[in-house]
Amino acid sequence: MDKILVEGKRRLSGEARIGGAKNAALPILVSALLADGQSTYDNVPDLQDINSVADLLTHLGVTVRREGRRATLDAGGLSNHEAPYDLVRKMRASILVLGPLVARLKKARVSLPGGCAIGARPINLHLKGLAQMGAEIDIRHGYVEASADRLRGAEIYFDMPTVTGTENLMMAAVLADGVTVLRNVAREPEVVALADTLNRMGAQIAGAGTSVLTITGVEALHPTQVAIIPDRIETGTFMVAAALTRGDVTVRDCDPAHLVAVIDKLRLVGADVQVNGDRVRVQGPDKICSVDIKTQPYPGFPTDMQAQFMVLMSVARGLSIISETIFENRFIHVSELRRLGADVRVSGNAAVVCGCAKLSGAPVMATDLRASASLILAGLVAEGTTEVNRVYHLDRGYEAIEEKFSALGAAIRRVK
């Protein structure tokens, strides 16, 4: 199994290019299920999760071709309504095929994703919404079985904003009979990117980016061509790396408007952040100040940046309180960071980080995607060598991360 070795204490400088957003690409590729004919997607990142969704779509009968960052999908041969356990267990976002399959094939059988390292992650809100649109839903032998001759428009309220829940129901509603109103939806840029894609395919979705979506069902959608938006979490990860190493890094091909909360915190930490079009230059401060962080649905501070910020706070001056309000178990990186010398105590959904720790390299284990990124960041400032194991988590969501950090002057390499 691959591992990544990082020699710390190098100041990063130079430019890093950001790839397409994993969490935008996944639902957008799935949306190809909703139309016959060939759709083309550009700026598709080369990631394990993208391979997983491509495998799943191929299994369902979609023709998938990938050349570099371009993917061409044709759902003309869509025939299979079952997403099996072996494919879904590799990636929870596979649940996104549920809504489109019911909309297109009138039925779907999708393995229940189950929990994961960061929480129980139920899909009750996806199922409640589909049921309100008239689907018959059964849970049998670990599978969700859903069917409806034609879904019908409905008024649906989400108890809490859910990103993939909003995306799933949006894709179900575009072909439903009548108007669907989704309230208290997720406002993440990835949700907006999916709504834009669906509208280009002929859907009628209003309100993307607000907490209410109004979707007027249409008879059919047509194929489209779109480019995937930049990955805001990859962007944020490089910005934190710049601040952490007191470096000077320009992050290119990103969308700074999607990172307002992260940029605000970085400035409070003392970093100099300059935004210029699709570039952000981050110059790290001499002394990193501590700030408190509370994760929230967009536009709040993203839970997917919490672990990376914790590393920054562990070498800051003073005390920081990090509250995680999205996932109940998203502090599993803490015990690994402690092995590197970080002073972090967890109580309920809050972590108290006592800064100024001198981190020192050690072997550590990656436990989920963003936790893995945080361990690489910790390695960049730790003394000596940090050995990050189980990097397959990292490969799910960061493209060529070691090459990008190397180009900035980090001493980092992958060992097979």
Among 234, 304, 324, 399, binds ligand EPU (CB under 6 A): 304
Q: 102-141 mask for ligand EPU (x: CB under 6 A)?
A: -----------------x-xxxxxx---------------
Among 189, 397, 399, 404, binds ligand EPU (CB under 6 A): 397
* C-alpha to C-alpha distance for 389 and 1, rounded to whole angstroms: 8
Q: How many of the other CB atoms lie within 10 Å of CB of 369?
A: 23
In the complex, the smallest distance separating the C-beta of residue 104 from ligand EPU, rounded to whole angstroms, is 21
Residue type, 301: F
* C-alpha to C-alpha distance for 120 and 8, rounded to whole angstroms: 35
In a 3-state reduction of DSSP, which class is residue 291?
coil
In the complex, the smallest distance separating the C-beta of residue 44 from ligand EPU, rounded to whole angstroms, is 15
Burial class (CB in 10 A: 0-12, 13-18, 19+), 51: middle
* C-alpha to C-alpha distance for 291 and 289, rounded to whole angstroms: 7
Q: 220-259 mask for ligand EPU (x: CB under 6 A)?
A: ----------------------------------------
Tokens matching residue 151? 């879904």
* C-alpha to C-alpha distance for 203 and 226, rounded to whole angstroms: 15
In the complex, the smallest distance separating the C-beta of residue 9 from ligand EPU, rounded to whole angstroms, is 28
Nearer to ligand EPU by C-beta: 47 or 316? 47
Tokens matching residue 310? 């914790």
Among 208, 326, 359, 381, binds ligand EPU (CB under 6 A): 326
In the complex, the smallest distance separating the C-beta of residue 218 from ligand EPU, rounded to whole angstroms, is 25
**Catalytic status, residue 116:** yes
In the complex, the smallest distance separating the C-beta of residue 194 from ligand EPU, rounded to whole angstroms, is 10
Tokens matching residue 398? 């960061």
Burial class (CB in 10 A: 0-12, 13-18, 19+), 329: middle
Nearer to ligand EPU by C-beta: 217 or 397? 397
What are the catalytic residues?
116
Binding site for ligand EPU (CB under 6 A): 23, 26, 93, 119, 121-126, 160, 162-165, 186, 190, 303-304, 326-327, 369-370, 397
